[in-house]
Amino acid sequence: MHSTEYFFTKQPSEIQAVFVSDLHLSAHTPHLCRAFIRLIDDLCVLPNLGSLYILGDWLDAWIGDDVYLSLDKQNQANHWLTPILISLKKLADKQVQILVMHGNRDFALSNKLTKLFGGAIIAEPYYLTTSTHRIRLEHGDALCTDDVKYQQYRAIIRHPVVRWLLLATPLSFRSKLGKDIKDKSHNDKRQKPATIMDVNHDAVQKALTDCDILLHGHTHRPAVHLLDNKTRLVLGDWRYDDRQVTAEIGLLIGDEVALANFSV
């Protein structure tokens, strides 16, 4: 797998879209926040970049846009998210679409926040068509159908009525709920069998019926899988280890999708 530096220097004019997921940005991840801004700075100089796709879990345990929007100007200026929004606005000002998909950690995100930088929320699955490929984009948690309890929870928490009711509750309640959801996710990873935490083969086959490339995140298992002349690419989560941030991101280069290692 080549590095993003390789593609950014060798083929900058051929990169048409960039795909990231599972950044899990928060006030507790300053290294990841700075690394994301560094990536955005790199994207700003790609001459033919048309789109940045954030395929879920951009923000960690996001309990509603009012967490940020309800702040006064001084507190917004000092907020950890502000430099990221400013960086994204610079990218959008270069006529790059910034399209954001919900994940299991930031399903309360809305266009109220994304409009601050000129972005937009997209529903999943989302389809991208090139001259030779039809590409299906999604977060990836809906493919993990062996985890029946999670799918039941997902169906409830993603329901528009439930979401509306949750956002109507006080921030203090949602803050506790967000922490509980995050803690449960960590516990599930430790306690549940690894097999049910990954995608289901039949779910993947079904997702590939109307496309020839499936691109998703969520599982934190970056790889390229070939299935009956079709391709499934899995984006990686962003990690800070040994004083370095690393992630596997996706690039649309010409008509082909490739994974690349980003590190800073």
* pTM value surpassing 0.75: yes
Residue 118: per-residue pLDDT: 98
Residue 31: per-residue pLDDT: 98
Q: Using alpha carbons, list the distances in angstroms from residue 53 to 28, 56, 124, 159.
A: 23, 9, 12, 23
Residue 102: per-residue pLDDT: 97
Residue 194: per-residue pLDDT: 75
Residue 61: per-residue pLDDT: 87
Residue spans of beta strands (DSSP E) within 82-222: 97-101, 120-122, 126-129, 134-138, 213-216
Q: Which amino acid is at 64?
A: G
Residue 144: per-residue pLDDT: 96
Which residues are documented as binding site for substrate?
A: 104-105, 147, 185, 189, 192, 218
Residue 194 has φ and ψ, to the nearest 5°, of: -60, -30
Residue 172: per-residue pLDDT: 87
The DSSP-derived string for 7-70 is HHHHSGGGEEEEEE----B-TT-HHHHHHHHHHHHHHTT-TT--EEEEES-SBSS---THHHHT
Which residues are documented as binding site?
A: 22, 24, 57, 104-105, 139, 147, 185, 189, 192, 218, 220
Which residues are documented as binding site for Mn(2+)?
A: 22, 24, 57, 104, 139, 218, 220
Residue 183: per-residue pLDDT: 77
Residue 137: per-residue pLDDT: 99
Alpha-carbon span 180 to 168, nearest angstrom: 18
Helix axes 160-167, 148-157, angle to 10 degrees: 70
Alpha-carbon span 251 to 249, nearest angstrom: 7
Residue 89: per-residue pLDDT: 99
**pLDDT (tens digit, 0 to 9) for every residue of the chain, 264 residues total?**
788 888 899 999 999 999 999 999 999 999 999 999 999 999 999 999 999 999 999 999 899 999 999 999 999 999 999 999 999 999 999 999 999 999 998 999 999 999 999 999 999 999 999 999 999 999 999 999 999 999 999 999 899 999 999 999 998 888 888 887 777 777 777 777 777 789 999 999 999 999 999 999 999 999 999 998 999 999 999 999 988 999 999 999 999 999 999 999
Alpha-carbon span 251 to 213, nearest angstrom: 13
Domain boundaries, the chain: 4-263
> Domain 4-263: which topology?
Purple Acid Phosphatase; chain A, domain 2 (3.60.21)
